[in-house]
Amino acid sequence: MTSPPPLIDRLLPFLAWRRQWSAASLRGDLIAGVAVALMMIPQSLAYAQLASLPPHVGLYAALLPAIVAALFGSCAQLSTGPVALTSILSGASLLPFADPASPAFLTLAILLALLSGLIQLALGALRAGWLLNLLSRPVLTGFINAAALIIGLSQLPALLGVVMPQSTHFLIDFWTALEALDTAHPLSAAFGAGALLALLLLKRFAPGFPAVLIVVACATATSAAVGYGSRGGAVVGAIPAGLPVLGVPEFDWNAAVALIPAAFVIALVSFMEATSSAKLICGKSGQDWDQNQELIGQGLAKIAAAISGALPVSASFSRSALNYVSGARSSLSSLIAAACVLVTLLYLTPLLWHLPKPVLAAIILHVITGLIDFRALGRAWQAGRDDGLASTLTFIGTLVFAPNIQNGVVAGLLLSLALMLYREMRPRTALLGLHPDGTYRDLARFGLEHPDPAIVILRFDSPLTFVTAAAFERAALAAAAAHSGVHTVLISAAGINMIDATGLHTLSMLIERLRGTNKNLAFCGLKKQVIDVMQKTGLWLRLGPHADYRTEHQALEGLRQDAPEATPKR
């Protein structure tokens, strides 16, 4: 058994880097950092557009947040910065509160980054990362597929040079844009469609090449050569050169209260995305991964984004995978990628002036194709009706609520919790009979008979709590009435791993109710933690010697011998 890392290494994970470095690992980190930067810089511009924010905000989000996440995260290969899901969640969450063209929109985006970062930081510091597991895989699958579809649809007008209105009804806005396809800007459509085709071809025939960078460079040069911006095309335009101005974000309590639900959803979804990447990479590399430490790292990264005047960030699945396969072995690769972003901000922003916005839309469309997996919805139905229902309704709800797509994942979360509670309130019970193999199994399923005309065995496969107590009582009373000769209900209790006050009260009342009909209650297979609670409350004495049987066979022998004295003592 490995000992936990020293406290100082857990608080400051970057101190452990020195033990990971070698000449080969440093070379791998350098190559991986440059490779990730070549993808991250154009993606940052595109994802800022996806969030309805100025392009330079995306570059800001790829600088300090990436450094902070690398210093305080637990998975060395995670690449943190702007990502598609978090960007569209951010932009969609803010649309009801401000016009994307107004300064207030950026102010609210910064506040959203701060709030979601504080939520993640608090959960990580309190070791409460398990709370994020409330978002089930079917719900996440439905949300990701719907969000990816919304992202793709939202970028099609930009790809073709069509103006798409932005209101509180995304599907209506998209339909309006479709009706205006005859107004498409031909040159914009050529740039957008050409860029998308080039990205697909490069991915197919030259997967090792930095496709995004090549397409951006060629498109920018072509745009400058043909005067695309002066011919009615939408270009990135002037990007402020220099570093972001650091400062404490402006805090408005009223706005913060209104944004808390969206901040929680962003914290939840973005960390699920980071978790998927970390689990996959750490499973391949064999390195340790701490969910709570990663929460702290991702939370601090979002806070750093707020301090930098940027949008919420997260770990990118595609960039993290590229980081790993390119040879990254420590978080130094993320610092190198951030250094490339720094150089871009200081010296290269004038080169981006002619970059066509339809090309950014093509980059987004190319990325989200990897997020769409409609077959996962079918697999959810195969796993179970409840999972399929939760996944499908989350998918439909996200589409219907768009652009407020956070409402879709909240609806899916509430539905999955409600379905889970409903299932817990209907625990599995079965009357048991002696199987030819010598074990006691489901009497109805295997066509068995009761082992004794005076004793009926009931198996209860659930904790005995306020959620299941009523179901337990119904099942026990039904077992007592299974046939006319029953004088003892034997509970096969191996599945009862917990009992609470409601369960104890139900047992107490059940004992009295059965006594009133000259019947008794006995147990076999009770777990120690359940016996301990019964002993503390005095219920154990009332059950007498007929609760300490270990197996059904032992209980039947004991109950047959003690039949005249089987009534529990008060």
**Can you tell me the mean pLDDT for 71-76?**
87
CA angle (281, 284, 285) in 5-degree steps: 85
Token pair for 448: 């068995």
Query: Minimum mean pLDDT among 16-25, 369-378, 380-389, 425-434: which range?
Result: 16-25
Q: How far apart are CA 48 and CA 87, in angstroms?
A: 7
Token reading at 105: 């929109």
pLDDT range class, residue 144, cuts 50, 70, 90: confident
* Cα 350 from Cα 236, distance rounded (Å): 10
Write the pLDDT tens digit of every residue in 343-394: 999 999 999 999 999 999 999 888 887 778 888 889 999 988 888 998 999 9
DSSP 538-559: THHHHHGGGG-B-SHHHHHHHH
Average pLDDT, the chain: 88
Residue 263 near residue 306 (C-beta atoms within 8 A): no
Alpha carbon of 386 to those of 381, 382, 399, 419: distances in Å? 8, 10, 20, 7
Percent of the chain topping pLDDT 90: 48
Instruction: Find the range with the poorest average confidence among 17-31, 128-142, 259-273, 352-366.
Output: 17-31
User: Which of 267, 345, 328, 331 lies closest to 300 in space, CA to CA?
Assistant: 267
Q: Confidence band (pLDDT; 50, 70, 90) for 459?
A: very high
Using alpha carbons, select from 270, 269, 275, 317 the residue that is nearest to residue 74.
275
Q: What is the mean pLDDT of residues 23-27?
A: 72
Structural domain spans, the chain: 23-137+168-368, 428-565
Helix (H) or strand (E) holding 488: strand 488-492
pLDDT tens digits, one per residue of 544-569: 788 889 999 999 999 888 765 444 44
How would you classify residue 78: left for phi > 0, otherwise alpha for psi between -120 and 50, otherwise beta? beta
Q: Are 316 and 25 in contact (CB under 8 A)?
A: no
Which range has the worst mean pLDDT, 22-31, 121-130, 143-152, 469-478? 22-31
One CATH from 1.10.10.10, 3.30.750.24, 1.10.3720.10, 3.90.1820.10 for 428-565 = 3.30.750.24
Residue 24: pLDDT over 90: no
Kindly indicate the confidence band of residue 148, based on its pLDDT and cuts at 50, 70 and 90.
confident
Tell me the average pLDDT across 34-58: 92
Question: 74 vs 297, 318, 566, 568, CA distance in Å?
Answer: 8, 18, 59, 56
What is the per-residue pLDDT for 22? 63
**DSSP string computed for 437-460:** TSSEEEHHHHT---SBTTEEEEEE
pLDDT for 19:
64
Among residues 466, 530, 541, which one has the least CA distance to residue 495? 530
| DSSP 8-state class, residue 98 | S
In this structure, what DSSP letter does residue 250 have?
Answer: P
Element spanning 377, H or E: helix 375-383
CB atoms within 10 A of CB 169: 15
- Are the C-beta atoms of 59 and 344 separated by less than 8 Å? yes
Q: List the structure tokens of 196.
A: 């998308």
Residue 374 φ then ψ, to 5°: -65, -25
pLDDT at 168: 74
* Residue 134 pLDDT grade (very low, low, confident, very high; cuts 50, 70, 90): confident
Terminal Cα-to-Cα distance of the chain (whole angstroms) = 49
Give 300-345 pLDDT, tens digit per residue: 999 999 999 999 999 998 899 888 888 888 888 999 999 999 999 9
The token duo for 2 is: 């490995």
